[in-house]
Structure 1
Amino acid sequence: MVKMASSGTAILRRISASMALLLGVLILLSTGSCDEQVPLIMWTSEGVSMPHESPPPAGHIVGQQQLASYLEKALNTGPQNVVLFLQDKMSIEDFTMYGGAFGNEQDSVFPNLKGALTSSSSPLVLPAVSWPASNAVIGQLQDQLETTPLYMDPETLSQLRLNASSPALLVFRMPYSMGADLISAKEILSGNDEVVGQVLSIMKTQSVPYTAIYTGLRPSREVASISVEVELGGGRSLLQARGGYRDRQREREGQRKIMEKAEIYSPVEFKKGDETCIMLWAKGLSVSILQKGRWEEHDLAPSTFGEGVKPSLQGSSCDKSKSRLVLNYENVLGFRNFKLILVMSQRHYKVSARRWFTLDNVELEYDGKTAAFNGSRHIYAPAEYSYRCESVTNFRWPLLIPRSTKDLANQWRVSFEDFQIQGFNLSGTEFSYASDCAGFFSPGIWMGLMTSLLMVLVLTYGLHMIMQLRTMDRFDDPKGPAISVPQTE
């Protein structure tokens, strides 16, 4: 009887904690929209607790420094094996619209997430985290754990053997699609929850304690107005006034504009004397190496671009015909000294009667070895222009080609997102007019042209067949002699 009473008390405590957690989420949700915020959920494996963290006050948006403080406190006492579920887009409405993961709803799209939060002794839900802060989660975890992230899927995780004494950062990327109807988003979120369930089940079979984090890179939707009423103790109280909402909306709009301006960081500049001769900018920059049958990725963008970031450019040079930009890094994928080198040249072409510049080589130097890619076939622009491309990689429609099949470049992946570079004829500290890599004919245009051509051919063939029809010059008269058709052998 005592055991039954204690178990019943524990269940009631869990239900009360879940209801209190849901109430806190709704209070925070009612004070703002999600046009610039994403939620972050953190919990530990069953039987492991982390220090209790009180949620921020209503209307407060968790920034990068405050989020780093939350993560540091959790990892100092919690498990060092971190499982990060990183969804492309996420908003708090994804949990409230499709069956909450925090309350007592029966029809929920997130049964695995709900079960994990219920079994955890100290879950933490941050409904309003600025999306620049959520983008920096990987870098913050990497610095605190002093390990490189491993991008995985459930099948790869089942083959990996983890050790509770050595930290590990396991990243699971999950999609998000918002189509014309809400059913597609609901199905994808349900599939993501199944992935969460598979990963947590594998971690449980390995008996390794872990800290799990579920967040997104961008908000999934915008909400113009939210008003929430909560019934508590028989009475009803309005949590948000209409006039105050407008004031906070104006304040959030100003914060959004400030964040948009802060996101556009200045490019990397190499100066010869007082004049800038090389400029490089990219929204995303990463390198990956193939080790033990899987790709290990390192994000170089935080240490290359951003406010206050000044990578070492030792070894760079430039003149009228050659430009060489050398980016020096430390501790990249286990290599103490790591260099990313971009070599450009320009010369006069008689056919076009003008000068062009090409990105001849993209080189990776590490531990005395070099992996080189040739980009001159695809990456070129007039000498007085800059070159811009949405994606520059050596995989998935590659623009960078290894020098040979035996080159070390086959073990590496280099990826630039929203890439722009200029190595000649710079005036001031701004890029010149950009020559974009996008072709004049997009795939959609080609499909339309081919379909139109096929329809014209079918119509032409049909008209030709109709014009070849001939009527008979004689008809069979039943009153006269029958028409005889001679047979030819």
Structure 2
Amino acid sequence: MKMAVTEGQRLCSISAVLAVLLGLLTISNGGTCDEQVPLILWTSEGISIPSQSPPAAGHIVGQQQLASYLEKALNVGPRNVVLFLQDKMSIEDFTIYGGAFGNKQDSVFPNLEGALMSSSSPLVLPAVSWPASNVVIGQLQDQLETSPLYMDPETLSQLRLNASSPALLVFRLPYGIGADLMSAKEILSGNDGVIGQVLSIMKTQSVPYTAIYTALQPSREAASLSLESDLGGGRSLLQTRGGYREKGRQREKQRRIEEEKTGIDSPVEFKEDENICILFWAKRLVVSILRNGQWNDHDLTPSTFGKGIKPELHGSSCDKTKSKLTLNYANVLGHSSFKLIFAMSQRHYQVSARRWFTLDAVELEYDGTKAIFNGSRNIYAPAEYSYRCESVTSFRWPLLVPRSSKDPANQWKVSFEDIQIQGFNVIGREFSYASDCAGFFSPGIWMGLMTSLLMVLVLAYGLHMIMQLHTMDRFDDPKGPAISVPQTE
């Protein structure tokens, strides 16, 4: 390969970013890299932005620092952002499959390396905390003040972008490994092919762009296939692929056994266009109605969760701003038709400068009648998160309140124990990072503070009384005359 003194050295150094730089930083981050994901940012060919200094080796980029990096890049760079969001990714994916040890012909990232070589100011963040990368869509959405568009290369080819108006184009890339080690390499190679196809389409449109490649979660455990523990040393690496498949089947069987032991049921999933857009789970669902001065309870949990249980979800819907989960039941407290409805919405709030989702209402629809509980004042979370609470009720420390004094909801009580719900930005089949309803000052903390304050007051009073004591300045001598103290003295 011909090496020039100036330009050739620059290109080769950029080409080595994914392999050598990430590999070296892996050594310093090796203890905790399973909690971090890399992030790579570059601009289209011919676009120059001021270079930003990467963090020092071993430093983990948090949410605020990542927002600062993105803000500096977008303030002076193109505001058409192409986000390649992979399900899982770790530094090991580059060191193992990126030709880090001189075998560049085996690299699965030729398109990504070519994009970095053509960019004048690429930025590589080897260690970004995965909670920060999990909200990168929200950060870009707030800075660009536009909603994300989930795309594929075929849709992008039909879209006409405008350089003057910002756009956030999100391309989801899978990451899932099978029973052998080669499947991860094939998936990463396919993802790199998608990146190359998208960048080629962007080039034909002659619209400058800023590209970002990152992931939602680390893939260290999946990418390594637990080489340290499962393969048991160097000799195991010489086993055939059948051995890997057998180990994979054993791990899957062990996982199912553990799930059965824990007794945790799968959440309710609602799909729109084959994509899961609503997730809901609760340990216990109970509704009660007041009849003849007594509350009659009905437990909906066995009809909602459990092995082989699939509740009817017709009437559910979801889009970018509103979501509705409708659980249909039969023969509930004497009603032949009964629906439990969760109505959610999300929007951008100027004060907090971010998007939030709220549980607007919980509705009970039975035999043509609706009982509506409002929850928007108390039940909310960032749009990228899920909402989780140990107890959501309408009667004891209520988070749900009837819509009005005349609403039929006044004759009902609802109780959700250990509830978790997400109606937006669902990725895969797992809940996003949970925003818990528990406040900082719990009853236990208040009791500790009040007890401490009482002890401090008692101590202060005791010190004050001790400081008021005075030593006598006159003493009575039993052998001499008695001391006479005049009243005028």
Structure-1-length-normalised TM-score: 0.50
Distance in 2, matches of 1:421 and 1:357, equals 25
| Matched ranges for 1:97-136 at <5 A | 97-100=96-99, 105-136=104-135
C-alpha change, 1:360 and 1:11, in structure 2 (3 Å) is closer
Q: Distance in 2 between matches of 1:107 and 1:52?
A: 30
Do structure 1's residue 155 and structure 2's residue 136 form an aligned pair? no
Paired amino acid for 2:80: N
Q: Say if 2:193 is the partner of 1:212.
A: no
Contact 1:36 1:219 in 2 (8 A): yes
Indicate yes or no: 2:19 matched with 1:15: no
Local SS of the residue matching 2:34: coil
What's the counterpart of residue 31 of structure 1? 28
What residue number does 2:201 align with?
Answer: 202
Partner Cα separation in structure 2 for residue 425 and residue 373 of structure 1: 10
* C-alpha separation in 2, matches of 1:376 and 1:416: 28
Counterpart-to-counterpart distance in 1, 2:42 and 2:215: 16
User: Which position in structure 2 is the counterpart of 1:48?
Assistant: 47
Is 1:167–2:166 an aligned residue pair?
A: yes
Q: How far apart, CA to CA, are the structure 1 residues paired with 2:341 and 2:29?
A: 50
After TM superposition, give the deviation of residue 12 of structure 1 in Å.
2.5
Instruction: Give 1:361 deviation, angstroms.
Output: 6.4
2:323–2:344 contact (8 Å) kept in structure 1? yes
Aligned mates of 1:424, 1:345 — CA distance in 2: 20
State which of 330, 334, 340 in structure 2 corresponds to 1:359. 340
Alpha-carbon distance between aligned partners in 1 of 2:203 and 2:396, rounded to the nearest angstrom:
59
- Compute the displacement of 1:432 (Å): 5.0
Quote how far apart the aligned CAs of 1:342 are: 8.5
After superposition, the Cα gap between the structure-2 partners of 1:44 and 1:349, relative to the gap in structure 1 and judged at 3 Å, is: closer
Q: Is the 8 A contact 1:21 1:102 kept in 2?
A: no
Structure 1 residue matching 2:214: 3-state secondary structure: strand
Tell me the matched-pair count: 296
CA deviation map 1:239-284 (0-9, x unaligned): xxxxxxxxxxxxxxxxxxxxxxxxxxxxxxxxxxxxxxxxxxxx99
Superposed, 1:76-475 pairs within 5 Å as: 76-100=75-99, 105-222=104-221, 349=332, 358-360=339-341, 362=343, 424=393, 427-428=396-397, 433=417
SS at match of 1:215: strand
Give, as a single letter, the amino acid of the residue that structure 1 aligns with 2:6.
T
- Once the two structures are TM-superposed, the CA of residue 374 in structure 1 deviates from its matched residue by 9.1
Cα deviation digits, residues 416-436 of structure 1 (max 9, x gap): 978889764654589754699
Partners in 2 of 1:128 and 1:436 — Cα distance? 29
Specify the code of the residue in structure 1 equivalent to 2:65: Q
Alignment check: 8 A CA contact 2:392 2:417 kept: no
Residues 118-168 of structure 1, C-alpha deviations (whole Å, 9 max, x = no match) = 111111111100000001110010011111100000000000000111110
**Counterpart AA for 1:32:** N
Partners of 1:107 and 1:28 in 2: how far apart?
21
Partner of residue 470, structure 2: none
Q: What percent of counterpart residues are identical?
A: 60
Contact 2:37–2:215 at 8 Å: present in 1 too?
A: yes
Which residue in the other structure is 1:242 paired with?
none
In structure 1, C-alpha distance between the alignment counterparts of 2:289 and 2:175, rounded to whole Å = 47
Aligned partner of 2:200: which letter?
S
Deviation at 1:19, TM superposition (A): 4.1
What SS does the corresponding residue of 1:74 show, helix, strand or coil? helix
Change (3 A) 1:426 1:94: farther
Helix, strand or coil: the match of 1:212? Answer: strand
Distance (Å, rounded) in 1 between the aligned partners of 2:162 and 2:100: 30
Aligned with 1:362: secondary structure? strand
Q: Secondary structure of the equivalent of 1:195? A: helix
CA 1:214–1:360 in 2, change beyond 3 Å: closer, same or farther? Answer: closer
CA offsets 1:33-79 (integer angstroms, 9 cap, x no match): 32100000100111112211111111111000000000000001110
TM-score, length basis structure 2: 0.50
* Residue pair 1:287, 1:415 contacting (<8 A) in 2 also: no
Alpha-carbon separation, structure 1, partners of 2:344 and 2:419: 23
Q: Name the SS for the 1:172 alignment partner.
A: strand
Q: Quick one: distance in 1 between partners of 2:77 and 2:346? A: 37
In structure 2, list runs of 5 or more residues that go unmatched: 229-266, 280-287, 292-318, 348-360, 367-382, 400-414, 422-489
Please report how far the alpha carbon of residue 24 of structure 1 lies from its aligned counterpart in structure 2 after TM superposition.
3.3
* Letter in structure 1 aligned against 2:28: T
Residues 183, 357 of structure 1: alpha-carbon distance in 2 compared, 3 angstrom cutoff: same
Equivalent residue of 2:42, what SS?
Answer: strand
2:176 partner SS: coil
Alpha carbons of structure 1 residues 6 and 191: separation in structure 2 relative to 1, 3 Å: closer
Contact 2:42/2:211 (8 A) holds in 1: yes
Alpha-carbon separation, structure 2, partners of 1:159 and 1:180: 38
SS in structure 1 of the partner of residue 29 of structure 2: coil
Which residues of structure 1 form unaligned runs of 5+? 227-282, 289-294, 302-317, 322-331, 367-371, 378-413, 438-489
Q: C-alpha distance in 2, partners of 1:341/1:181?
A: 40
| CA–CA distance in structure 2, aligned partners of residues 103 and 51 of structure 1 | 31
What root-mean-square deviation, in Å, do the aligned CA atoms of Structure 1 and Structure 2 show? 5.0
2:231 is matched with none
Cα distance in 1 between the residues matched to 2:346 and 2:22? 49
| Change over 3 Å in CA distance of 1:365–1:10 after alignment to 2 | closer
Q: What amino acid is the match of 1:49?
A: S
Change (3 A) 1:27 1:198: same
Would you say the 8 A contact 1:426–1:432 is kept in 2?
Answer: no
Equivalent residue letter for 1:148 = S
Residues 287-332 of structure 1: CA deviation (Å, up to 9, x unaligned): 99xxxxxx9x9x999xxxxxxxxxxxxxxxx9979xxxxxxxxxx9
Distance (whole Å) between structure 2 residues aligned to residue 53 and residue 363 of structure 1: 40
| Distance in 2 of aligned mates of 1:44 and 1:346 | 53
Contact map agreement 1:44 1:212 (CA 8 A) in 2: yes
